[in-house]
């Protein structure tokens, strides 16, 4: 586990040296969501009906765009090759990296979500469901997307390809994530949907790093 804590510490330290990388996805998320009220006719109730889809698609895109840099700087600096031959299990290194990435770029999305919900005229009683759904959903998106990031890390123009590979894999999370908020808006209990989101998170968090580690080994020409 020494690899895990060391990687976690390293990632947080690196991020604290360049705070802009943390802020950009958050900024993207806020800007994209605030575009919708400008583009949609001001029919009462329309924004509220669209809100689950808008917030979740924006969060999903923010996560996806932030993923391109997940392994790229390490790859360019040669750190990735070091990690591959390091005497610690790559699984834990990857787990730590993705978790740190979520703490620095995913968690801010969750924290700013109530503000955006307020902007989209959501009733205050569903903001809890919105946050809980994003809290369970965004790390799942990170772990799934990390597989694509690992496979495209060595490619010149990998970000477009990353989108093509990862977006179809995001659909289940999107369906249940937006569904949880939709149910909350209809006044239905959200716990079953949250349970499914939690199950997806458990699966992505436990199996994802295996696939990511394999993808990194493939990308490094192993």
> Is residue 161 close enough to count as binding other proteins by CB under 8 A?
yes
> Is residue 84 close enough to count as binding other proteins by CB under 8 A?
no
Distance in angstroms between the alpha carbons of the first and the last residue of the chain: 24
Interior/surface letters 12-33, b for 16+ CB within 10 angstroms, e for the rest: eeebeeeeebbeebbebbbebb
> Is residue 215 close enough to count as binding other proteins by CB under 8 A?
yes
The closest of 172, 153, 134 to 94, measured between CA atoms, is 153
Of 117 and 215, CB closest to other proteins:
215
Rule CB under 8 A: choose which of 86, 107, 169, 205 binds other proteins: 169
Looking at residues 181 to 210 of the shown chain, list those that interact with other proteins (rule: CB under 8 A).
Answer: 182-183, 200
> Is residue 50 close enough to count as binding other proteins by CB under 8 A?
no
> Is residue 72 close enough to count as binding other proteins by CB under 8 A?
no
Of 8 and 163, CB closest to other proteins:
163
The closest of 172, 192, 203, 56 to 122, measured between CA atoms, is 56
Rule CB under 8 A: choose which of 175, 187, 195, 206 binds other proteins: 175
CB of 72 to other proteins, least distance (A): 15
Q: With contacts defined by CB under 8 A, name the span among 38-46, 90-98, 99-107, 167-175 that binds other proteins.
A: 167-175
Contacts for 21 with CB less than 8 Å, ≥ 6 apart: 15, 69, 104, 105
Looking at residues 118 to 157 of the shown chain, list those that interact with other proteins (rule: CB under 8 A).
Answer: 147, 151-152, 154-155
3-state secondary structure of 48: helix
Rule CB under 8 A: choose which of 57, 79, 107, 214 binds other proteins: 214
Residue 70 phi/psi, 5° resolution? -60, -50
CB of 167 to other proteins, least distance (A): 8
Dig out the tokens for 19 from the structure. Answer: 């705070």
Taking the CA atoms of 28, 31, 35 and 37 in sequence, report the sign of the dihedral they define. positive
Which residues bind to other proteins, rule: CB under 8 A? 147, 151-152, 154-155, 158, 161, 164-165, 167-169, 171-172, 175-176, 179, 182-183, 200, 211, 214-215, 218-219, 221
């Amino acid at each position: 586990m020494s690899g895990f804590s060391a990687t976690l510490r390293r990632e947080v330290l690196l991020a604290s040296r360049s705070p802009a990388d943390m802020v950009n996805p958050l900024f993207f998320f806020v800007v994209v969501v605030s575009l919708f009220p400008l583009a949609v006719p001001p029919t009462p109730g329309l924004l509220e009906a669209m809100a689950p889809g808008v917030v979740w698609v924006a969060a999903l895109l923010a996560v996806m765009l932030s993923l391109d840099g997940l392994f790229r700087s390490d790859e360019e600096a040669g750190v990735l090759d070091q990690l591959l031959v390091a005497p610690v299990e790559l699984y834990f290194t990857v787990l730590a990296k993705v978790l740190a990435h979520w703490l620095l770029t995913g968690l801010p999305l969750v924290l700013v979500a109530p503000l955006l919900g307020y902007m989209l005229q959501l009733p205050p009683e569903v903001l809890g469901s919105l946050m809980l759904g994003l809290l369970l959903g965004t790390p799942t998106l990170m772990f799934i997307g990390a597989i694509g990031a690992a496979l495209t890390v060595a490619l010149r123009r990998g970000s477009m390809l990353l989108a093509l590979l990862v977006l179809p894999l995001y659909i289940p999370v999107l369906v249940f994530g937006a569904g949880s908020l939709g149910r909350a808006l209809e006044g239905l209990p959200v716990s079953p949907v949250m349970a499914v989101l939690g199950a997806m998170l458990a699966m992505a968090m436990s199996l994802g790093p295996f696939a990511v580690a394999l993808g990194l080994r493939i990308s490094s020409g192993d």
